[in-house]
A and B are shown apart, each in its own frame.
Chain A
Amino acid sequence: MTATVAVVTFPGSNCDADLRHAVSLFGMKAVAVWHKESSLPKVDAVLLPGGFSYGDYLRCGAIARFSPVMADVVRFAARGGPVLGVCNGFQILTECGLVPGVLLRNEGLTFQCRDVTLRVEGKQTPFTRGLVGQTLRLPIAHAEGNWFTDPETLARVEGEGQVAFRYVGNPNGSLNDIAGVSNAAGNVVGLMPHPERYVEASLGGVDGAGVFRSLAGSITNTEAGATA
């Protein structure tokens, strides 16, 4: 069975096609899901893409969390399904409380499109299998990537191994250099850098490939476990 991955398109999403393309390069089938759908099709994972959902008006991700399909995404996550939010997708995940923290305006106040170095940390997630301890070079492209939370939550996130990606060289003022976090169960991950942009050498790097290989591997394993 080919793994099937939903990529949700919100009004204003603009990395949805990029994510679908990347997913398809790793032997998985990408399915475009329109945000007005009331439920997800039968899929093995859900990806929330980057972009400017609802123009980032009000607050990044604040309106998209009310899109009809999100209720089912929350249920999918609660059942333990793998969910990844990249950039604006991460912002949406924080707005619906699936991962901790908020994303503030970059410390330097300007949009930043450039490569950053990341360390993969924390508990094993469907998106970081075999990557923990590695250093990756991935691009960022955001104006609101400055992760922030209250001291209690920060202590819990750090203590429970929920920091999935940490900047080596902080580009935006994020608390504790945090670039990506998971939920307590580890099945939901949000990160600001774009792994889908570095899966082909001709585009400048392949360090994003591990994230998609990890997902493909974890889906195959789950299925194998389920049928066994």
Chain B
Amino acid sequence: MTPGADSPITDELVQQHGLSPDEYARLLDVLGREPTLVELGVFSVMWSEHCSYKSSRIHLGRLPTTGPRVLIGPGENAGVVDLGDGYAACFKMESHNHPSYIEPYQGAATGVGGILRDVFTMGARPMALMDSLRFGRLEHPKTRGLVRGIVAGIAGYGNCMGIPTVAGETRFDRSYDGNCLVNAFCCGIVPSDRIFLGTTGAPGNKVFYVGAGTGRDGIHGATMASTEFGEGSDEKRPTVQVGDPFQEKLLLEACLELMQGTAIVGIQDMGAAGLTSSSVEMAGRGGRGLLLRLDQVPMRETGMVPYELLLSESQERMLIVIEPGREQEVFDVFQKWDLSVAEIGEVTDDGVWRCTWYGNEVAAIPVAVLTDSAPKYDRPQRAPAPLPALPELVDPDPFGRLAAVLADPDISDKQWVWRQYDHQVGTDTVVRPGADAALVRIKGTQKHLGFVCDSNGRHVYLDPFVGTAGQVAECARNLACVGATPVGLSDCMNFGNPQKPEIMWQFARSVDGMAEACRALSVPVISGNVSLYNETDGIGILPTPGLAMVGLYEGPTPTVKARFAAGLEVALLGEPGVGWLAGSVYARLLGFDRHGAPPPVSYAAEDALHVALRALIAAGAVEVAHDLSDGGLLVALAECCLDGVGGMFDAGTDAGSLYGEDHGRALIAYRPEARDAVLRLLGSVPTRVLGTTGGDVLGVGGRTIAVGDVADAWGKAFPDWLAGASR
């Protein structure tokens, strides 16, 4: 008797599995009979928002996902772009928000573990990680603990894996008080003709399970007590998975070693919804059926049952399909690395996903039913009530506010965070965390990849379309400041409850803004994920499309920096702008953070600026390039002074000139004798010389501040807050 398999399917059970009455009716219709309890569990995860994208799918189709470099677009474990000369970059960004709020260390750690597996499943050796983090107000009692735990979790996993964490962002807003965001990004390098996919090949191929044993962690259906299924066991396990980076490091090396040969037909990591999702997705892509003998699955706990084995989200596991006769190659490699390895099933020709338990069938569902019949919703949308305009800001001394702006938690120094991440392992990191974008070389080539992740929820909240478009532009601008040309984008869409029309409207408008900007700037969206229901007590987060953009630079390693040396001429590139303060850090500081519209984007001007920046850097004509974004021109100048060299600049005196966050602008600094060459390369890009570097004072419009005070304001705010010494 299969434990629990004979339980009658009640309305209550259906509800506990997160299926609406309509969805259950649909299930009965497509299956043509009542499901077993195991099958109900399988449908509940396959039709969950997380796996089926049922609320978002119809919108995501509007994103541009193709381009001359795109080898693999959305739909696989990660996207892949061609870098030329046989190299390809494989990358993706993914959220781990809810687990990280419940259990910060493990939630964040397994977020990193999951994204790493997505990348090396494709045959790519991971070369860089990034993290985009959002927390609530500094004064919220949970914030400090979340920051400490999440940063430690990312460090604990990424450092042990030996993959450098090269960039990231950490921002704060009251809307994240009850919903922190942890978006983890990974990029790997794969030979462009050796990309592995999650597929099955021909019937008769063997299905192997490799990696860690399966436990009861992360079992879906958190609302269900496991006692109902577990032969009287009354253990309740946390729904957050527990990570073991050491296992994953072994799994990485073992998989890449096996991939050197030709045994593998298909490979897929077990992530969300574990064995169920991975096996169903493989069968779906291969257009075949699959037989899984669940009793053969390596287990690390006793008394486990099919329901648990299928829904466990235990980490560090992979499913591999090989041709018959190649079994010994799999055993040899995984036993060398002391990992579990078991043959658990085979590919079939009947198109049915079938699971047995000691010879008894416990689930038999046509694969097409699981993959193609998931509900798809065009949920209602409604524009929210208009926001109040930004009032006239009264500030007798805008320049005097610089220290406060630099100490703002979105701007201040986050060294405390990234020093905990090994950002140099691999000996390829050319531009480290703390710059506009990171730059990592590919050994043995002249290729370098630029990495940036950026999202400004405040701008997106004010106008999801324009705000998101602006973030795409800013990512590309950040890459241009290290000389890199965008090759692709991964998006991690963090939003509230999609069943609220206003949230669905935010989502749809954000997708449209991203689509327009990506088309205009020729950046394909090659991977990503969607995280909805980021709400607590009915309060949604700021709409936060987490964007991670990758760029390519080819040539001798560039020497451009983001800090001033003495004796350089400094120029502002781009249209000077109108001093756009709505949505700015400065306006928030004055108490107006949900007012007005975000700055608009001119794609043509952006593109011209990026082209010019890349040309300047490739030619070695500039010593410094730094993008203008949060905090505007004055903050950008101040950040350039952080190595202790200041300068006197003509940059206006009013708040708009100093702190406006108009797009399409960047600072450069060059040796005066290079001026002609710089101007030639700039062509028609508007250029305004602001002044010259030198001395230990930053002077703007007749006002000055010691660069030591700039460094103190910027550098001390975050560590002081963590130590509890202020605020």
Contacts and interface: CB of A to CB of B under 8 A. Distances in A.
B429 A57 contact: no
A196 B246 contact: no
Nearest to A34: B336
Interface in B418-457: 418-430, 432, 441, 443
Interface string A16-38: 01100110000000000000100
B418 to A, nearest CB: 8
B419 A202 contact: no
B427 A52 contact: no
Contacts of B441: 202
Contact of B161 (A14, A113, A197, A202): A14
B322 to A, nearest CB: 24
A52 B424 contact: no
A69 B443 CA distance: 29
A161 interface: no
Contact of A11 (B155, B337, B419, B557): B337
Given A111-B159, A111-B420, A112-B420, A52 B425 contact: no
Interface residues of B, number: 32
B439 to A, nearest CB: 10
Interface in A31-81: 36, 50-52, 54-57
Contacts of B338: 11
A14 B443 contact: no
B424 A51 contact: no
A1 interface: no
A55 B425 contact: no
A168 interface: no
A203 interface: yes
B429 A110 contact: no
A194 B245 CA distance: 22
Name the interface size band of chain A.
20 to 34
Given A52-B245, A110-B152, A111-B420, A203 B429 contact: yes
Interface in A142-198: 143, 194, 196-197
A12 B516 CA distance: 44
Given A14-B249, A52-B159, A55-B244, A203 B430 contact: yes
Contact of B423 (A14, A36, A113): A113
B250 A11 contact: yes
A167 B430 CA distance: 25
Nearest to B156: A111
B419 A113 contact: yes
Nearest to A22: B427
Given A52-B160, A55-B245, A14 B424 contact: no
A12 B425 CA distance: 13
A14 B43 CA distance: 40
B398 interface: no
6 contacts: A51-B162, A52-B162, A55-B160, A55-B244, A202-B441, A203-B428
Given A110-B420, A197-B427, A200-B427, 13 more contacts: A11-B250, A14-B425, A17-B426, A18-B425, A36-B336, A111-B155, A111-B159, A112-B420, A113-B421, A113-B422, A113-B424, A202-B441, A203-B428
Interface of B: 152, 155, 159-162, 244-247, 249-250, 336-338, 418-430, 432, 441, 443, 557
